[in-house]
Structure 1
Amino acid sequence: MSKKIFTVLLLAVFMLAQFSIASAVAVTGDASITAIPDFSSGTDVDLDWAATGMAAGTKNILVWGREYAAVPVAYDPADCQLIATIIGTSDASGTFTYDFTTTANLNALATGDQVEFTLSVDDQTCATADVPAIDSVMGVNYVDATGPVFFYGNPPSTALVAASLDTAACNTFEYWALARDASFVSLDIAYSGFGSWNPQVTGTFAPPAPMGPTSSLLSWTFAFPATATGPWTASISPEDMAGNVSGPGVLRNAVNVVPAELEDCATFSDIAGHEDEVYVRYLATLGLISGFADGTFGPDNTLTRAEASALIEISNGYDDTMLPTSAPAGCDFTDVAASDWFSGWVWQACDDGLMNGVGGGLFDPNNLLTRGQVVTILNNVATSYFVNPALFGGFIDTPNVLLLQFPTPAYPYGGYGFRTAAWTDVSVGAFYATPVQKAYGWGIAEGTSDTTFSPDQAATRGEFAKMLYRALSREF
């Protein structure tokens, strides 16, 4: 090598060294993510951070994000954001909102995506700062970019107006709703879970707080005081734990309180304070259920199959003057005589496809109705309606939860409805297996524990009233 060439190379090395020293100033300081939520929306996420060991001078705290990949990719300065600029040696901490929408590679995240974060301390801003090592990860966050799916039920009614423009039959009633956050996604995708119903009311009086809102099932009971007046609105806006809000769902839309809503619901001497009181009293006001001659209702008493046939057909718009006087084809049960008080109700329920016999030519009218049989009847109503809607009227033939939700495909995949349970006492082959899943999945029925439905347990009159109220609740 000639002396001239060697001199030129030596000069080039010296100049590169000088450039490196000028542009890459060593910065002393450690930054860390001290807290990050498990889930965030697809818009942004709040990071708690802290910086210690600061040297003199000006330093920038930078946050770097990237989408998780099985084989990690390098951090991109286009996904870096400036958290804070610190002058001096003092420690610092705070919360920073990392905005996905302003990044180059993280502005189109979907539910189930996973994002990795790391922090660095640098004298440069994002565009010219040293990129963190590829294996540097200080925090991880899953993305839930979709809000809950939900439906809601207004008190049963046959009014020919939208549910949100309808009034109540008396002064005490329940609005209820059911939501699911894992909507339209496969079961192996992470989601944040239900957060709050965010109930809102405008009117002339304050309603009670929801019984939730941490549960995905909302039971919202109102009792109009005698002084209630003027327009009144009630709505819900379900929100998940990542902050995604759905809705609003307007249960009542600026409808004036009417005199009927200030009148007490029908009552019985033994119903006050009972867990099913609101359902019993409201349905009694509508004439769908009744008590005994002594003024009691017997909410904890059991119900016979014959009584159930009458109750379901009364909801279908029948009275005793409209019933058959002899058994229709296929409904001639040997234990149902024309002289029995229930014969017409049993025959009508059988002819409509709502209740079947128990085999051997028997209906078993005086045997107790079980919880599994109740939900099977309700499932039969939904099934039969869509086969022959001309058979139906009254409160059944309305846009209610039973008819609108029972036929709806499951969410997200498998099962029925917005919620599922692993029942230990519901066998796959049982006649009530699917009806149990539907009734629980759509909020009409509850279990007797977290793992049992007790399908063979006799249903009480109060339980039946609650299931009927929920099934006939109007929905739009």
Structure 2
Amino acid sequence: LKPVLQVTVAGKSITVNWKDIKGHWAESAIREAAELGFVTGYADGTFLPNRAVTRAEFSAMMVRALHLELGADSKLAFNDSDRIAAWAKPYIATAVKAGLLKGYDDGSFRADQLINRTEMVAVVMRALDLKADQNTKLQFADALEIPVWATGYVAAAVETGIIKGRNGNRFAPLEHATRAESVVVILAMLKQK
């Protein structure tokens, strides 16, 4: 792989020479995601692979990865829409319209909330339209911590190789998804499509 890569993301040419991905376990996946145009780095020349991802950021990654067309109407019906950054609204509106992400029972979207591994998997599996049987027995040491509504999504993701557990045979369902994990899971999804 080239140390410097010139790619186009959202119509802008960017140079991929992120100083913090060299030797990272997801380095090749991050470079591939950049080539595909669904991730960008930061102005200081970093990618921050271990940084947690917000729901807004994950929405943007998914919309770009799936090449979903941003709609002209980015009005959102969530009760916290006024607190969603302008850059994120078209991505969130598109992801919601495509059925990838949903709001919460209280009517909020919580764009700045960090997405957990269970939510990340559910979004990706909705994109693939895959769900295993809710009664599937997962073999993770922390399987009982996986919310019941997500068991089918997690089982299907594991069965198809979309995601693996973390150290200690844990799925870590409520831990925040990192930028590196998000990239790897989205790439695995794209290979399934």
TM-score exceeds 0.5: yes
Structure possessing the higher radius of gyration over alpha carbons: 1
User: Residue 306 of structure 1: SS of its match in structure 2?
Assistant: helix
Q: For residues 182-236 of structure 1, what are the alpha-carbon distances to aligned partners after superposition, in whole Å with 9 as ceiling and x for unaligned?
A: xxxxxxxxxxxxxxxxxxxxxxxxxxxxxxxxxxxxxxxxxxxxxxxxxxxxxxx
CA distance in 2, matches of 1:442, 1:326: 33
In the alignment, what sits opposite 1:433? Answer: 151
Mapped contact 2:20–2:47 kept (Cα < 8 A): yes
In the alignment, what sits opposite 1:299? Answer: 49
Larger RCO (CA within 8 A; separation ≥ 6): 2
- The one-letter amino acid paired with 1:456 is L
- The one-letter amino acid paired with 2:169 is T
Return the offset for 1:436: 1.3
Return the offset for 1:437: 1.3
- The one-letter amino acid paired with 1:333 is F
In the alignment, what sits opposite 2:29? Answer: 279
CA distance in 1, matches of 2:125, 2:20: 30
Q: Where is the strand percentage greater, Structure 1 or Structure 2?
A: 1
In the alignment, what sits opposite 2:81? Answer: 336
Mapped contact 1:280–1:465 kept (Cα < 8 A): yes
Change (3 A) 1:266 1:355: same
- Alignment map for 1:49-64 (pairs within 5 Å): none
CA distance in 1, matches of 2:139, 2:191: 23
- The one-letter amino acid paired with 1:341 is W
User: Residue 148 of structure 2: SS of its match in structure 1?
Assistant: coil
Change (3 A) 1:282 1:326: closer
User: Residue 149 of structure 2: SS of its match in structure 1?
Assistant: coil
Q: Where is the helix percentage greater, Structure 1 or Structure 2?
A: 2
Q: For residues 315-337 of structure 1, what are the alpha-carbon distances to aligned partners after superposition, in whole Å with 9 as ceiling and x for unaligned?
A: 12146xx334343xxx5012123
In the alignment, what sits opposite 1:325? Answer: 73
Return the offset for 1:294: 1.2
Change (3 A) 1:299 1:286: same
TM norm structure 1? 0.35
TM norm structure 2? 0.81
Return the offset for 1:428: 6.8
Return the offset for 1:382: 1.9
Unaligned runs of 5+ in 1: 1-170, 173-264, 384-405
Return the offset for 1:427: 4.5
* CA RMSD of superposed structures (Å): 2.6
Unaligned runs of 5+ in 2: 3-14
Mapped contact 1:447–1:454 kept (Cα < 8 A): yes
Question: Between Structure 1 and Structure 2, how many residues are aligned?
Answer: 179
Return the offset for 1:348: 1.1
User: Residue 270 of structure 1: SS of its match in structure 2?
Assistant: coil
CA distance in 2, matches of 1:315, 1:464: 11
User: Residue 294 of structure 1: SS of its match in structure 2?
Assistant: coil
- 1:311 equivalent in alignment to 2:61: yes
Return the offset for 1:450: 4.3
User: Residue 123 of structure 2: SS of its match in structure 1?
Assistant: helix
Return the offset for 1:429: 5.2
User: Residue 432 of structure 1: SS of its match in structure 2?
Assistant: helix
CA distance in 1, matches of 2:136, 2:16: 38
- Alignment map for 1:68-147 (pairs within 5 Å): none
Return the offset for 1:378: 0.9
Q: For residues 72-123 of structure 1, what are the alpha-carbon distances to aligned partners after superposition, in whole Å with 9 as ceiling and x for unaligned?
A: xxxxxxxxxxxxxxxxxxxxxxxxxxxxxxxxxxxxxxxxxxxxxxxxxxxx
Larger mean CA deviation between 281-290 and 435-444 belongs to 435-444
Change (3 A) 1:285 1:429: closer
User: Residue 81 of structure 2: SS of its match in structure 1?
Assistant: coil
